[in-house]
Amino acid sequence: MTLPAHSRRSFLETSLAAGTAAGLGLFSSPMSFGQEAPQVVGRLMAHTTVPMNAEPALKDLIESWMTPTDLFYIRSHAPVPKIDAKSFRLKVEGMVEQPLELSLEEIANLPQREVVATMTCAGNRRYEHSRVSPIKGVPWQEGAIGNAKWSGAILSSILKKAGVRPEASHVWFDGLDVVPHNESTIPFGASIPLRKAMDDTAEMPGSLLCTKMNGEALKPDHGWPLRTVVPGYIGARSVKWLGKITLSDRPSPNHYVATAYKVVEEGHDLEWDEEGPIYRYPINSVICNPSPGEALNAGKVTVAGYALPPGYPGVTIRAVQVSADGGKTWKRARVSSPVNQYCWVLWSTTIDVKSGTEEIIVRAIDSEGDRQPRRVDWNLKGYLFNAWHRVPVKV
């Protein structure tokens, strides 16, 4: 997938000219986190701590295909809400035959599933994107992504229990968090097409109402006691601290669907109105080792990272290619992890670098033959940045 080609601004590819090597590394340069020094929180580096917005170091991130929960990025728009598990009820309302109020116990008694899926923030790699001109928003490097085992009830089974009326076509999710917005507060919300919610296959439900992450009760930062997980969609559609599901004939009017999370260029009112919400994430790949600006000896160098197929059903990563000569020649990397739909792969290879080698580049190709784009259009919010990933090195 490429971004809409409506840009009057420059195309964007990360390049040496656009930033100094020292400014690129997650840990090598505190300056890359803006004015404030990054704060270490457990195994994450926090951009902000209230609310928590934090990502892991890339070398830690690719240590395992399944991301340990303490290395999983956290993206929250407001502090973790206080929820009482005993009195908690998930509301299901709107265009349904029978509105529901379900306790955690009742949800646990519905058909359960366990799925492995990658979650990624639409703003992952925003930091690189912002080099063309500054972008507001968390300056994510390449760590706003993780792969976890999610377990819980299948969303469609709850919808069937409530009885979806024929005029419904979208499923809204509202969180229990309280996000400051225009001098007032709103819950974080999302919505997905009803068809996506009902698109269960033997391997993968269209959407999950998740109560466990990596085999343990969800951690508060990740949405305890209940969150949605929508495989293939940007993280923003997987609402944490889920309190209410509403069936409707239109997408949610919540700010995070109606206004935020759109690919717009200038952000005038008509452009926001015309542009639809982002749902799926695009193909991507990232070099996690070596680090930007790392000094390397001439000769063979190990290069490793992750690659993510686009969030289409059945699409996987076919190949990951690495170049040390500016893209003239490419070497195919070895994929060392399972290759599944909706999941990243981990890859590594060795490549020859010599005196004068300035950068190492990676790109990925999916099972449909679609390629990660060399460059993408700049957009106002810095979403879905997936140009070839370039890491400057010193040999």
Token match 């270490």: residue? 40
In the complex, which residue's CB is closest to Mo ion? Answer: 121
Shortest Cβ 214–ligand MTE spacing (Å): 12
179 versus 361: smaller Cβ distance to ligand MTE = 179
Shortest Cβ 310–ligand MTE spacing (Å): 17
Binding mask 95-134 for Mo ion (x = CB under 5 A): --------------------------x-------------
Indicate whether 235 belongs to the interface with Mo ion (CB under 5 A). yes
Segment near Mo ion (CB under 5 A); pick from 23-31, 192-200, 229-237, 244-252: 229-237
Shortest Cβ 204–ligand MTE spacing (Å): 19
Q: 228 in helix, strand or coil?
A: strand
Closest CA to 47 of 130, 104, 116, 112: 130
Name the binder of 47 from Mo ion, ligand MTE, none, CB < 5-8 A by kind: none
Name the binder of 222 from Mo ion, ligand MTE, none, CB < 5-8 A by kind: ligand MTE
Question: How many other C-beta atoms lie within 10 A of the C-beta of residue 13?
Answer: 18
Question: Any idea how long the chain is?
Answer: 395
Name the binder of 381 from ligand MTE, Mo ion, none, CB < 5-8 A by kind: none
Please select the residue that binds Mo ion; options are 14, 26, 44, 75, rule is CB under 5 A.
75
260 versus 391: smaller Cβ distance to ligand MTE = 260
Name the binder of 188 from Mo ion, ligand MTE, none, CB < 5-8 A by kind: ligand MTE
Name the binder of 241 from Mo ion, ligand MTE, none, CB < 5-8 A by kind: ligand MTE
Name the binder of 206 from Mo ion, ligand MTE, none, CB < 5-8 A by kind: none
Question: How many other C-beta atoms lie within 10 A of the C-beta of residue 352?
Answer: 12
Shortest Cβ 74–ligand MTE spacing (Å): 4
Say how far apart CA 202 and CA 207 lie, in whole Å.
13
List % helix, strand, coil for the chain (3-state, nearest 5).
15, 35, 50
| Those residues with Cβ within 8 angstroms of residue 173's Cβ, 6 or more apart along the chain or in another chain | 189, 190, 191, 192, 228, 237, 239, 242, 244, 245, 252
Shortest Cβ 122–Mo ion spacing (Å): 5
121 versus 346: smaller Cβ distance to ligand MTE = 121
Shortest Cβ 41–Mo ion spacing (Å): 18
Shortest Cβ 131–ligand MTE spacing (Å): 22
Which parts of this chain interact with ligand MTE (CB under 6 A)?
72-77, 119, 121, 175, 177, 188, 222, 235-236, 238-241
Burial class (CB in 10 A: 0-12, 13-18, 19+), 208: buried
Shortest Cβ 309–ligand MTE spacing (Å): 18
* Cβ(90)–Cβ(225) below 8 Å: no
Closest CA to 69 of 79, 59, 58, 61: 61
211 versus 349: smaller Cβ distance to ligand MTE = 211
Sign of CA dihedral 175, 207, 163, 252: positive
Please provide the DSSP assignment of 308-368 as one string.
Answer: E--SSTT--EEEEEEESSTTSS-EEPEE-S---TT--EEEEEEEEE-TT--EEEEEEEETT
Chain residues that interact with Mo ion, rule: CB under 5 A: 75, 121, 235-236
